[in-house]
Structure 1
């Protein structure tokens, strides 16, 4: 066998490449037109494939949107994991409050210079508002995101960095709302102000979630379950 000869791709590799091209095309169309106007046939066309390929690979538009949402979330999670790895620590060894701050900052940093995939994620977040028309895959992704924020708050409460008078599930809802509202706002904000937005966000998280030190009290006006 000639070692210089190009190796033939396996069927699995070809399928993965096709799905990757379709997901990239889907991100472009969703970011440009919204979910309703991003048809499976149009996604196949944008990927330069036969019109039925997206349906062949994913079965339905809902399934494709679910994969696209998960792909975008995984990209952000990978960025967060990389930041933790650079610190030389494991996620479980990081105080929960620090993990919350780092995760929020990772999200917002991406949306300062968003890709089509990032923009598509914001569009898909908005698609969850009309409940009957909401793609089931997005609802599932929302629940996973909520569970992740909840787990970080609970970790902080166990290690003493996060206030214990916050209901973790309610805190997770607040963080999701904060991220999504700011992410959408950052898309068209002047570049000079984006860093200040992230700094203000970090200050708010510190103020709202930090456990009071011994001999101090919770912030004025706070009540159990209401950060």
Structure 2
């Protein structure tokens, strides 16, 4: 006996206006990321995005308002992908464990989405322009990232694994600055060993966060000279 497919489950049902809007925006964001990776920020125009995604410039302008509006949306989309991956990796961790899990997750994210990393850094560089319309978005993203790291460090201090004299905000700045520096070097140097750099960075962060206690899980070595 055959069963009729419910109307809501049929694949031939027309898309709603909201679905069409979301699909168009997704296509244009993907086109923008590809263009940023191939022709740079100057060539990533609303006209080029419309042609690349199969839509008109008018629709791109309608969706984003301006090139700056487009780039804000692109940054938001790429950030959302990283945030989701980070939350899965953390899984409630805090302290040193959260820091090391985040570093491992970031390396995996970079290797899985090199086009996102390249496009993100292009936009971050463009945000330094005094006339940039999306500089506040970049600054806010960086603040959120640093705030998360500072929260992990406070969690480790509360558990007694991170020294109380470490300033969470200052350490978060060093952590995030280190990741940005590693990625910038990798993007401009084809022979840069990204995996080794991340592993060294993780090891050094553990040492910094455990400066007065030794590496977690190990007994500090005796530094007294033999008699």
TM range (shorter): 0.7 to 0.9
Residue 178 of structure 1 and its aligned partner are, at CA, apart by 0.9
What do the CA deviations read for 1:146-193 (whole angstroms, capped 9, x no partner)?
2222222222222323332222222222112111111222344448x3
Residue 144 of structure 1 and its aligned partner are, at CA, apart by 2.2
The equivalent residue for 1:117 is 116
Residue 134 of structure 1 and its aligned partner are, at CA, apart by 6.2
The equivalent residue for 1:128 is 127
Residue 132 of structure 1 and its aligned partner are, at CA, apart by 4.4
* More RCO (CA 8 Å, sep 6+): 1
Closer, same or farther: CA 135–212 of 1 in aligned 2, 3 Å: same
| Runs of 5+ unmatched residues, structure 1 | 85-89, 217-227
Closer, same or farther: CA 163–69 of 1 in aligned 2, 3 Å: farther
Is the contact between residue 146 and residue 176 of structure 1 (CA under 8 Å) also seen in structure 2? yes
The equivalent residue for 2:99 is 100
C-alpha distance in 1 between matches for 2:177 and 2:25: 31
**Does the alignment pair 1:69 with 2:68?**
no
Other structure's SS at 1:162 match: coil
Q: Which is further off, 57-66 or 46-55?
A: 57-66
Residue 17 of structure 1 and its aligned partner are, at CA, apart by 0.6
**Does the alignment pair 1:80 with 2:79?**
no
Q: What is the aligned residue count?
A: 208
The equivalent residue for 1:207 is 207
C-alpha distance in 1 between matches for 2:61 and 2:144: 26
The equivalent residue for 1:149 is 149
Pairwise CA RMSD of aligned residues? 2.7
Q: Which is further off, 14-23 or 144-153?
A: 144-153
Residue 24 of structure 1 and its aligned partner are, at CA, apart by 0.6
Residue 43 of structure 1 and its aligned partner are, at CA, apart by 1.7
Is the contact between residue 31 and residue 116 of structure 1 (CA under 8 Å) also seen in structure 2? yes
